[in-house]
Amino acid sequence: MEKSRYIAIEGPIGVGKSSLAELLANELNGRTLIEEVDANPFLPNFYADIKKFAFQTQLFFLLSRYQQQKEMFQQELFNSTVISDYFFAKDRIFAYLNLDENELSLYEQVYRLLDTRIPKPDLVIYLQASTEVLLERIGRRNKDYEKGVKEEYLEKLIDAYNRYFFYYNDTPLLVVNTTEIDFVNNPADLSNLVKEIKTMRGGSQHYIPLSSGQ
C-alpha cells in the first residue's frame, strides 16, 4: 500500500502493542507514540475494584490520550512515519465495557468533543491472542498493578475488541493473530509481519501466521 504516515496498533492487555510499535519504528524508520499507561494514578485501584474506579480511570485515559496525540501531531511529525501503540477510538471499547449508563452518558459527551480533533490513522493493526497467551505475557512482564487482572475480565475484553473490529471500517485494518508467533524474539516472525504491513491494499485483511516453532 502507499506508505502509511500514521500506523496505530491495537489489542487487549499483554498482546504486544508497545513491543511491536518499537520494532516497527525501527523497521520503517519511524517514530513511536507510546501511551503512558503507568501515569494513570487510578489504574492499581481499578484492577482491584473495577466498578468503583472505572469512571475515574477511563476519564484520565481519555484526556491523557487526547493531550498526548494533540501535542504529538502539532509538532508536524508527519515528515516521518509515526507508530502508535494505541489509537484514540479504542478508548470507547473500555468505556462501554466498564461504565454504567449514567457514567457512559457523561463520558460520551466528552469523547465526542475530543474525537473530531484527532487525526485518523492510515492503518490500524489489531493484534489478537488467546486468553492463555495473554495471561502468560502479562505474568512475564510482572507489573504490580496487572497482577489484579482476572481471566474473566480479560475474556470480556477480548470479546469487546473482537466485536468492535468486526464492524470497523474507518481506516484500513490488518488483523494479526499472534497466538502462535513471537515477533519480539523471532526475527522471522517480525520480518513476515512487516511484509504483510507493506503489502496492505486497503480494506480489512486477516493475517494468521503459522507457528514459529518456539
- Cβ atoms of 20 and 183 closer than 8 Å: yes
Cell numbers at 119, concatenated: 487525526
Going by C-alpha positions, the residue among 148, 160, 139, 190 that lies closest to residue 14 is: 139
**Residues paired with 53 in a beta bridge:** none
Q: How far apart are CA 161 and CA 205, in angstroms?
A: 16
In what helix (H) or strand (E) does residue 121 lie, and over which residues does it extend? none
* CA-wise closest residue to 69 among 51, 87, 91: 87
Q: Quick check: 86 and 9 in contact, CB under 8 A?
A: yes
Residues 6+ apart with CB under 8 A from 134: 12, 13, 14, 15, 154, 158
- 49 given a catalytic annotation: no
Given 85, 91, 122, 189, which residue is catalytic? 85
Q: Helix H segments across 5-150?
A: 17-27, 43-48, 50-74, 91-98, 101-115, 131-141
Distance CA 169, CA 110 (A): 23
Distance CA 51, CA 78 (A): 39
Catalytic sites, residue numbers: 85
